[in-house]
Amino acid sequence: MQPNRRTFLSTGAATLAMLPFARALPAHAAGGDTLVVVSGQTINSLDLHRTGTNRASYQIAVNCYDRLVTFGTKDAPGGGLSYDYSRIEPELAESWTISEDGLTLTFKLKPDATFQDGSKVTAADAKWSFDRAVSVGGFPTTQMKAGGLNRPEQFTVVDDETFVVTLDRPSKLSLPDLAVPVPFIINSTLAQANATAEDPWATEYLHKNTIGSGAFKVVRWDQGQQVVYERNEAWTGGPVPPVRRIIVREVPSAATQRALVERGDVQVAFDIPDKDAAELAEKLTVFSTPIENCIHALCLNSNFEPFQDANVRKAVAWAVPYEAIFNAAAYGRGAPLWGGSEEITDISWPRPSQYATDMEKAADYMAQSAFPDGFETTLSISTDLAYWMEPAALLIQESLAKIGITATLEKIPGANWRTAALVEKTLPMHLENFGGWLNTPDYYFFWAYQKDKLFNSSNYYNEEVERLTDEVLHVAMDDPDYAPKIARMFEIVLEDLPRIPLYQPALNVAVHGADGYQFWFHRQLDIRSLKTVES
């Protein structure tokens, strides 16, 4: 049953009026012309490859650029649609072949694919874009390496419509890695025209401009307020989107997001808190999709002396109030990741750790540590993720105080979080929520447990984990050595505890007058399939 607009909370209209950009672009448009989304996430760049670009900005690459291939679609748990990791489908490529030895991938591009300026998409654009991705450094380059894509020399142009990727070794991750947001195809002619000697990859230009062949282009970006997309009528990567214009507004207040979607002033509220999802589900359509390969965790940074002590890490793990966090932060949505068996009998991931709340064990481990009288530290959270991080942090803070650890809560603005937590890795103790894009446990380990990887915010290093991850990363999952090595990796990290698993989250999206939502592993909104419906 839909809510009656006349009985909606009177604060809704006042809240909308306070948004400075609400008057410039009407929220409630007639028919399928315009659809409005609200999100608490901050988009800080239009270029995913740029150093410091945050996760929220990945949606630009998804919606404004094409990749050679994409994943298929299936029904999602809990309703709606989801990507299908088991199916690779064409996007910019019309077809592809893989050599018998698995080392050569040959792609035929769609002959009628064009960029936003009308110019033809060619294999030269694909090569320049791949060269850029493996050369700019940081997260994009590491992501390409996960699929065995390391050097420009691996990418070859045969003719305008034939692009070849040559691998050093066969890998189960290579083709799926081409379907993630990173290897997007850029109009290389336009990019190079705006490059400089100091900026050969045109990062400053692409920071503010979208020059792809994707389903949409950005026609307006008011940083900290909104992104306005307009449909690319000539898109060949899939069905032309149902909606001509989509406005994604940044609304930091979860209460305001809820009010706007409940009233029907906006059609989609993306990534809403679990509490709001549970309550709105009684009135609106709410999709709550478990996030594959994703863990909310408490991370302990080994660059800081107290967390170099194994007994301190164990003390923290036994002191965490897991169930209270799951109820207060997740409202029971998702899956618990505590109180499991210490024995590893399968390789399902995420998996519950063997730890649970036991203050006597926590106190015993602190007494055995080099800090029996406790210590002071900070516990950092992102304001973008405060809806789950803040209640979790307050509960952890209270519990750690009982074993002598004084943790001062530090709130870091969402736009700065990625730099502090992941790039510079300067936070002693913090909450994080990494989810691996390619759905295998070794891929999670590649990012979260290997030395210097972006999402290893704990600065963790274990020589055996490094070796085992490298050994299994490209190996088929039915290889007889795969499962035993994965099990051993589980044992090590759950003993070492650089990341203390809390729970597996769900991604919540409320819709009111919209349809066509599809969940994706990258946890960003794919607007290409959204459509308006009568509320």
First vs last Cα of the chain: how many Å apart?
10
DSSP code per residue over 307-350: GG-HHHHHHHHHH--HHHHHHHHSTT-SEE-SS--SS-----SS
Same domain, residue pair 403 and 441: yes
For residue 2, pLDDT beyond 50: no
Six-digit token string for 176: 């799926």
Regarding whether 465 and 321 lie in a shared domain, the answer is yes
**Res 333: pLDDT:** 87
Q: What is the CATH number of the domain that holds 485?
A: 3.10.105.10
Helix (H) or strand (E) holding 138: helix 138-146
pLDDT, residue 103, reads: 97
Number of domain units in the chain: 3
pLDDT recorded at residue 516: 95
Last residue of a domain, one of 164, 196, 228: 196
Same domain, yes or no: 345 and 488: yes
- Tens of pLDDT, residues 259-272: 999 999 999 999 99
Residue 67, judged by CB atoms within 10 A of its CB (0-12, 13-18, 19+), counts as: buried
User: 13: pLDDT confidence band, cut at 50, 70 and 90?
Assistant: very low
* Residue 256 covered by a domain: yes
Cβ 123 vs Cβ 159: under 8 Å: yes
Q: Do residue 108 and residue 97 come from a single domain?
A: yes
Q: Do 263 and 335 belong together in one domain?
A: no
CB proximity list for 527: less than 8 A, separation 6 or greater: 35, 37, 59, 63, 215, 216, 229, 241, 243, 246, 248
Q: Is residue 30 part of a domain?
A: yes
Residue 75 lies in a domain: no
CA distance 374 to 315: 11
Specify whether 494 is located in the same domain as 515. Answer: no
Q: Determine if the pTM surpasses 0.85.
A: no
Task: Extract the tokens encoding 261.
Answer: 């979607």
- Regarding whether 143 and 12 lie in a shared domain, the answer is no
Residues 6+ apart with CB under 8 A from 528: 63, 215, 216, 238, 241
Classify residue 80: in a domain, yes or no: no
Per-residue pLDDT tens over the stretch 28-79: 433 469 999 999 988 999 999 999 898 899 999 999 999 999 999 999 887 7
Q: Where in the sequence is the domain holding 427, given as residue range(s)?
A: 296-504
Surface-to-core class of residue 28, CB atoms within 10 Å of its CB (0-12 exposed, 13-18 middle, 19+ buried): middle
From the list 165, 168, 103, the residue with the least C-alpha distance to 130 is 165
Q: Are residues 185 and 227 in the same domain?
A: no
Q: Which of 137, 161, 196 is the last residue of a domain?
A: 196
158 inside domain = yes
304-320 pLDDT, tens per residue?
999 999 999 999 999 99
- Domain membership of residue 81 (yes or no) is no
Question: What was the pLDDT predicted at 450?
Answer: 96
- Confidence class for position 417, pLDDT limits 50, 70, 90: very high
Residue 384, pLDDT score? 84
Q: Are 144 and 121 in a shared domain?
A: yes
CATH number at residue 188: 3.90.76.10
Task: Tell whether the model's pLDDT for residue 14 goes beyond 50.
Answer: no
**Are residues 415 and 345 part of one domain?**
yes
- pLDDT-derived band at 415, boundaries 50, 70, 90: confident
**Within a domain: 232:** yes
Token output for 4: 């009656």
Domain stops at, among 134, 163, 196: 196
Q: What is the pLDDT of residues 201-238, one digit of tens each?
A: 999 999 999 999 999 999 999 999 999 999 999 999 99
Percent above pLDDT 70 for the chain: 94
- The reply to whether 72 falls in a domain is no
How far apart are the C-alpha atoms of 264 and 46, rounded to whole Å?
28
Q: For strand 69-75 and strand 34-39, is the pairing parallel, antiparallel, or unpaired? A: unpaired
Identify the CATH number of the domain in which residue 9 sits: 3.40.190.10
> Two tokens at 416?
């700065």
Do 241 and 216 touch, CB atoms closer than 8 A?
yes
Tokens of residue 77, six digits = 């748990």
Residues 499 and 511 in one domain: no
Confidence of residue 387 (pLDDT cuts 50, 70, 90): confident
- Residue 535's pLDDT is what? 56
Phi, psi dihedral angles at 87 (to 5 degrees): -125, 125
Cα 534 to Cα 532: distance, rounded to the nearest angstrom: 7
- Report, as an integer, the average pLDDT of 188-203: 97
- For residues 475 and 339, state if they share a domain: yes
